[in-house]
Amino acid sequence: MILGVLGSGSGSNLQAILDAIDSGRLDASVAIVLSDRADAFILERARRHGIVTGVIDCRGFRSRFPEDAQRETAAVLRGSGVGFVCLAGFMRLIGAPLLDAYPGRILNIHPSLLPDFPGLEAWKQALAAGVVETGCTVHIVDEGMDSGPVILQERVPVLADDTPESLHARIQQAEHRAYPEALRRMAASSLE
């Protein structure tokens, strides 16, 4: 399983994937890590592991992912031999050019039990809603926002004294277990 990772932030989920690979829990390799932010720490994490990195040119758009940028990204991923794409804190919606290049093979992790609390800062949405449980979801990416088929979910209780920061930290711990496991399951099902 050859992975390409797209991220916009620190890359803690990339690190969890790399740790799972290094420990033998996940039979995969990461061929390339791309970011829409040249200063994103995910690129530094990748470089420290000897992984090729690159910056996606989104034509100056703050949140939009232009179709030509998606086509270029797909070409770079294909040129790197990538079979599956992992979104790891990538904060742009994926559209047809990238979805068509990797049908059913782009995964995302989201900090809630989808379909509850799609979109940004799901842990804050969960606290505001007063739920007693939230978690994380690994899903296949489609054209909607956090709407694709679920591969795996891990539940996290909401504690009475939780702050947005404490709840988010526990959800991230769950994410770091769930993402490598979901990739392992995807690899196993692609061999069947």
Which residues participate in catalysis according to the annotation?
A: 110
Per the structure block, which two tokens stand in for 167? Answer: 């709840």
Give 152's strand partners: 138
DSSP-assigned letter for residue 136:
E
| H/E stretch holding 72 | helix 67-79
Our CA angle for 95, 141, 171, nearest 5°, is: 130
DSSP-assigned letter for residue 130:
T
Q: Rounded to an integer, what distance in angstroms lies between the CA atom of residue 93 and that of residue 91?
A: 7
Q: Rounded to an integer, what distance in angstroms lies between the CA atom of residue 133 and that of residue 84?
A: 30
Sign of CA dihedral 114, 157, 175, 26: negative
